[in-house]
């Protein structure tokens, strides 16, 4: 599979940039960073989601 080396490098860099920008753009929307700890009891997880509901 051939191709221009410069074009391939540019596409690789643009992919990394797009992934980074996507992560940074979704972060405020998700409001789940850092995620809930796996050791948290189910009742506390339920309380968290109950307290942080969004209405559409």
Query: What is the tens place of the pLDDT at every residue in 39-49?
Result: 999 999 999 88
Number of domains making up the chain: 1
* 11: nearest Cα among 30, 37, 31, 19: 19
Domain membership of residue 30 (yes or no) is yes
For 22-45, write each residue's pLDDT tens digit: 988 887 777 666 788 999 999 999
Share of the chain above pLDDT 90, in %: 50
| pLDDT of 56 higher than 50 | no
Q: Cβ(53)–Cβ(32) under 8 Å?
A: no
Give the C-alpha distances (Å, rounded to integers) separating 38 from 31, 42, 47, 48, 52. 17, 10, 15, 13, 18
Looking at every residue in the chain, the average pLDDT score rounds to 85
Domain membership of residue 31 (yes or no) is yes
Domain membership of residue 43 (yes or no) is yes
Domain membership of residue 56 (yes or no) is no
Q: What is the pTM of this model?
A: 0.47
Domain range for 32 is 5-51
């Amino acid at each position: 599979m051939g191709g221009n080396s410069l074009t391939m490098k540019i596409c690789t860099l643009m992919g990394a940039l797009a992934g980074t920008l996507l992560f940074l753009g979704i972060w405020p929307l998700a409001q789940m960073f850092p995620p809930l700890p796996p050791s948290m009891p189910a009742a506390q997880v339920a309380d968290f989601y109950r307290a942080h509901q969004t209405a559409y």
